[in-house]
Amino acid sequence: MMDVDINENEQVVSVCTLVRRFAHEVLSRQKQYRDDLLISCLQFIISLPSECIDYDFADYVPAIQLALSIGLTYLPLAEQTINSLERWSQSTALNLSNFYDQILPY
């Protein structure tokens, strides 16, 4: 039973690592995207569980700002972004309160 738990933990860590890498790739290319593809990429970023977000949340701030800005005219994206911020704020590892001054003006 213990071997299964260790194996599952390793798999979870591996999956989170892959998701982080992909998220960084999406974040680095988001300026190239437009319209539906941009919104889909932003939805991917804001749907990430807090366990799959790097401890350096600063990399995610421009995407959050953009999602909130687009959300002014596309309400589902704004709602998803706010829900994600609420969910992420419960994670002590992210220390999201340090970034509120950069996010909340949007």
In which residue ranges of the chain is pLDDT below 50?
1-2
pLDDT for the residue 9: 85
Predicted local confidence at residue 105, as pLDDT: 80
State residue 4's pLDDT score.
Answer: 55
Domain ranges in the chain are: 2-103
- Taking the CA of residue 22 as centre, how many other CA atoms within 13 Å lie in the half-sphere pointing to its CB? 12
The predicted structure's pLDDT at residue 5: 65
CA distance 69 to 78: 8
> Residues 68, 15, 28, 30: is their CA dihedral positive or negative?
negative
